[in-house]
Structure 1
Amino acid sequence: MAMTESNSAIWEEIERSESYLVCSMHEEAATLASSILKRLCGDKDNKGVEAGEDAGFYDMLESTGMVLVQSLKGLGRASEILDQLKLLYVSVAAIPVQVLLTGACFQISVGSSFGVREFLEEFLSKWNCVDGQYYVLVGADANVHCLERCDARFILGVDQYIKVVEVYAVTLLVTVLNDLDLAVSWVEKAALPEDKRQVIFILSYS
């Protein structure tokens, strides 16, 4: 379904979903957030988003996703969060980092870690490290034009990527699954800046 709304109209809907969430109207918030994401992610060319609004579009994806994950948690459906995110965003790599981290942590916190490992591994595998300075989505154009646009859908800062690594290796593998050897093995092989790799090692052993 192609988007036809203006940016301001979409933001009005997002703000309404946030209001539902604040009022603990979780069902209404989740339903509206899901509807918004279907429209945002269903238009491959993002024709409904005004030209030059790449950052604004990413903000829409992030704000709506945060409403969704918090609503599902409020409904007692935290175990469904990652499946819903993957369904609505179509690609795991398209999920904003803050939404992904919040959703994964919510799901882990309710004792539902099934599928979280595979989910995080899939996300982490979608990015290539470039000169230890940033990560580029596999298959995305990593030329100067792409960097100048600073399109948040194709480029991740090192710190953003490392936050996901920390949840995967330290929180999930070490703390929840009690598999230090697997965590260390993965970190040793992963494409990480060396200083960040050492930080993860320290956290894993602490």
Structure 2
Amino acid sequence: MTETVTTRYDHLATRFAEKARAVSAIVEPVADLDAAFAYCVDLCGRQGACRITVSGCDESLSPPADSLCDHKHDKIVAAPGLAPDQFAALAARCTDQGMACLRSGMRAHLAGVDIGFTLAEMGIAETGTLVINCPDEDLRLATMLSEYHVCVLRRSTIVEDAFAAEGQLLKYMRKTPDYTAFITGASRTADIERVLALGVHGPLELHILLLED
């Protein structure tokens, strides 16, 4: 890798991090995927378990109604987009800490997923945006339903702007049916009396791990 290319990668990574942090994303460098797995498990360990329950569950209910009140107690990390060997490495770390690790079946865990762990296809420096090609439903749900989204982005895949991403995006769109997510910052809305709220329509926090490659 020439000095010119290295300098350009550094420039794009710096700009991406600045823009991502401006919209409340947490950006950290990692040396390799194993360090990213360690970061993910440590983050999950520091948070309380995500739980969602139905209103009225404290009342005396019929068995069918009571079943709606079932909710999880264990911490869950969902990583449906990983290769088998990558998933095995993350799952081993989760097991050591008493956490569950999912690769599929996200619909069965809608009562709460603590961490969604994903790998981005590319990043857009101009806006601090992650681009994740996710035609698989489990991968989409991992980015939407988790309390915290941890995404690994290789520095070499950061492009200047959306125009520079056009060629790769066209390749995705030709493989129909397709779904590509553009994620900029944590989930946010201000549609109720213009008061900004985070985590209403998606993850409360977005952690972006910039991977050296």
TM-score, normalization by structure 1: 0.28
TM-score, normalization by structure 2: 0.27
Q: Which of the two has higher C-alpha Rg?
A: 2
Q: Relative contact order: is structure 1 or structure 2 higher (C-alpha 8 Å, sep ≥ 6)?
A: 2
- Structure having the larger proportion of residues in strand: 2
